[in-house]
Structure 1
Amino acid sequence: QNRLEDLNRAAVRIAREVAGDQCLVAGNLSLTWMYEPDSASAKDRVRKTFDEQLEVQVDEGVDFIIGETFSWLGEALIAVECAKKTGLPAMVTICFENKDETAEGKSAAYAAKTLFDAGADIVGMNCLRPPEHMLPAMEQMRKAVSGYLACQPVGYHTPVDKPDFTSLPEFPYGLDPLQVTRGDMGDYAVAARDMGINYIGACCGAVAIHIREMARALGKFSEDTRLWKKGGEKPMSAYEYYGHHIERANK
């Protein structure tokens, strides 16, 4: 708590350094664990925390604000309220645990409408669920609203009866066998695009190969760069495939 300014300032500076002039840098808000739906004082504490974070992030020059991972729609609405005071675009996303509803019992469609009505520029879902259990809810949102939608699922497969990956007995250290393949993530990106999702990303468990495959599937690379081909300008020892055979031979 007493390092709020230092941590937020450092986070934005690191992100800006990595992004250079090629990417936008977002400020970030997330669930606080302080929200209580029937407590005005708890809501005020959430509001104060968000305002303090945003003051630092805006001072560091973020381009827009993301509020994410809200299972409580009420807390997401506070994030919209605080983000809009900055004058920057605001993207706010909710998450579903094992039920297809917010913690208050609201549907995806209801949440999307409510967040847009509150002033969010982009709404959607992130975290907890893999593509196969998030896209149906996103489809409900798409049917309910015409604004920009964001979808950022986790990179782990989960069963139908426990779609929230944090509810699995494998969480957090035994999830590796459940990781979504890069091909699955590419398929998800195409499905999301075809559904009319505007902001297509990923969350926990997604790594660089997933994001790259999503970009490939969406045609972000030219056809030449999408195909592996052997080059003649380097010796075979410079290629990973050659090293793979060396390793096998030495075993």
Structure 2
Amino acid sequence: MAPVGGTPKPPKKGILERLDSGEIVIGDGGFVIALEKRGYVKAGPWTPEAAVEHPEAVRQLHREFLRAGSNVLQTFTFYASEDKLENRGNYVSDKISGQKVNEAACDIAQEVSQEGDALVAGGVSQTPSYLSCKDKAEVKAIFQKQLEVFVKKNVDFLIAEYFEHVEEASWAVEVLKESGKPVAVSLCIGPEGDMHGIPPGECAVQLVKAGLEPRILTRWDVQKYAREAYNLGIRYIGGCCGFEPYHIRAIAEELAPERGFLPEASEKHGSWGSGLSMHTKPWVRARARKEYWENLLPASGRPYCPSMSKPDAWGVTKGAAELMQQKEATTEQQLKELFEKQKFKSSMVA
């Protein structure tokens, strides 16, 4: 007789088992920035009480990353240490506490992970206690409280992320290793470190004078990044702050040949812009190929940047053959003609 509820799912392969077998593991993206943009996280404190206050928002973002191709759902526990919640005025003992936020975050991630073949990773990050020069025992005690929840909720592995001081990162790893679960760690540092006496204001002035413009990676940048990372032998690829589900989908699409399948979210999307072949405007249809996006120049939106000084419009309007609409999919021959016209237009502008 089959068990009630149907055939049970086979046990999930762990993170080390997947990597040892050569499997490509795709992480998820950034929760803090995404949920701040959606109005559930306060810019500045960046604390994750939304797991308690708005669990449906956290659940939905997990689901979007899973649908986009993620194999790992990291608990929304960034800055979820007790001292951080207290430090930024978000601690309310009967509603919001380190334990309640961490437990809620684990429950949500575990719930959504059952909708696919995804692992759950418990995460810790840097603490105000370390910045306030608390001793090693006090800082490790902060991590220990979070670890107790992760062990209780039986997450699959642990991540110590976004540490600006390697000493604190080492202390976090020492605590997390007590669980006996696999542990990963990442640092937030530049090529020369992060604290060399240059004030943030002076850094900002120098960057503005140099013309540096902050921008979010495009899906095309991410596809190239995923391919280069894979070629280097990296098999666990994900993102952090600013990484949206479409970035994760880009990784999954780029590595689909190696993985053997596309994510569910690709149903409405064509890799490298191929879906644009159905666009009404010919100059947009001409972008429906990998070469266009690989050679696209970064643009800030300011005057004289590539997107402003070299517009794609071809000067055709109503009645032009290229604008005549059809119900059928654009043919290969039609696309070829558009690609050739695009090359001609580009050479004329240059």
CA distance in 1, matches of 2:138, 2:169: 14
**1:34-73 correspondence to structure 2 within 5 Å:** 34-36=129-131, 39=133, 41-73=134-166
**1:77-116 correspondence to structure 2 within 5 Å:** 77-96=170-189, 99-103=190-194
CA distance in 1, matches of 2:212, 2:99: 36
- Structure 2 letter corresponding to 1:87: G
Give secondary structure in 2 for the equivalent of 1:85.
helix
Q: Is 2:287 the counterpart of 1:194?
A: no
Distance 1:5 1:190, change over 3 A: same
- Structure 1 letter corresponding to 2:102: N
Q: Kindly state the Cα deviation for residue 196 of structure 1 after the two structures are TM-superposed.
A: 2.1
Distance 1:33 1:197, change over 3 A: farther
**1:27-38 correspondence to structure 2 within 5 Å:** 27-36=122-131
Matched pairs, number:
162
TM (norm. structure 2) is 0.41
- Structure 2 letter corresponding to 1:100: P
Distance 1:5 1:169, change over 3 A: farther
RMSD: 3.3
Distance 1:187 1:169, change over 3 A: closer
Higher Cα Rg, which structure: 2
Q: Is 2:168 the counterpart of 1:75?
A: yes
Q: Kindly state the Cα deviation for residue 57 of structure 1 after the two structures are TM-superposed.
A: 1.4
**1:164-243 correspondence to structure 2 within 5 Å:** 178-219=215-256, 220=259, 222=261
Q: Is 2:105 the counterpart of 1:11?
A: yes
- Structure 2 letter corresponding to 1:30: S
Is the contact made by 1:83 and 1:90 (CA closer than 8 Å) also made in structure 2?
yes
Distance 1:221 1:211, change over 3 A: farther
Unaligned runs of 5+ in 2: 1-81, 83-92, 197-203, 277-350
Moved over 6 A (4+): none
Is the contact made by 1:27 and 1:65 (CA closer than 8 Å) also made in structure 2?
yes
Give secondary structure in 1 for the equivalent of 2:119.
coil
Q: Kindly state the Cα deviation for residue 193 of structure 1 after the two structures are TM-superposed.
A: 1.2
CA distance in 1, matches of 2:219, 2:155: 30
Greater RCO (Cα-Cα under 8 Å, separation 6 or more) = 2
Q: Kindly state the Cα deviation for residue 229 of structure 1 after the two structures are TM-superposed.
A: 6.9
More strand by share: 1
Is the contact made by 1:73 and 1:103 (CA closer than 8 Å) also made in structure 2?
no
Distance 1:169 1:189, change over 3 A: closer
Q: Kindly state the Cα deviation for residue 216 of structure 1 after the two structures are TM-superposed.
A: 0.7
CA distance in 1, matches of 2:150, 2:187: 21
Give secondary structure in 2 for the equivalent of 1:205.
coil
- Structure 1 letter corresponding to 2:117: Q
Q: Kindly state the Cα deviation for residue 45 of structure 1 after the two structures are TM-superposed.
A: 2.1
